[in-house]
Amino acid sequence: MAQYPMSPRHSRRLLTVIKNLKSQQQGFATNFILGYAAAAASALSFTNPFLKQLDECDTNGESEENINPEANGPWERKRQKKLKAVVREAQEKFSNPSSDALSIARALQIFELSENPMEFCRANSLHLKTMEEMSKLRKQLLRLIFHHSKFCEEFAWNSGDFDDVEQAWRNEPSKKVLQLIEEELLGQGICAGWADRVARRIHTYSKSSED
Give yes or no for a contact between 33 and 27, defined as CB atoms under 8 angstroms apart: no
> Strand pairing partners for 126?
50
How do the pLDDT tens digits run along the chain, 211 residues long?
Answer: 888 999 898 899 899 999 988 887 565 688 989 999 999 999 989 998 988 755 544 433 344 444 454 556 777 777 667 667 777 776 788 888 778 888 899 999 999 999 999 999 988 889 999 999 999 999 999 999 999 888 888 888 988 899 999 998 887 655 556 788 888 888 888 888 888 887 888 888 766 555 5
Q: Give pLDDT, residue 134.
A: 96
Dihedral sign of CA atoms 77, 83, 85, 88 in order: negative
Burial class (CB in 10 A: 0-12, 13-18, 19+), 195: exposed
Give yes or no for a contact between 127 and 57, defined as CB atoms under 8 angstroms apart: yes
Using CA atoms, how far apart are residues 104 and 132, in angstroms rounded to an integer? 13
**pTM for the model:** 0.76
Q: Give pLDDT, residue 144.
A: 93
Buried-state track 22-51, b at ≥16 Cβ within 10 A, e below 16 = eeeeeeebbbbbbbbbbbbbbbbbbeebbb
Using CA atoms, how far apart are residues 15 and 65, in angstroms rounded to an integer? 45
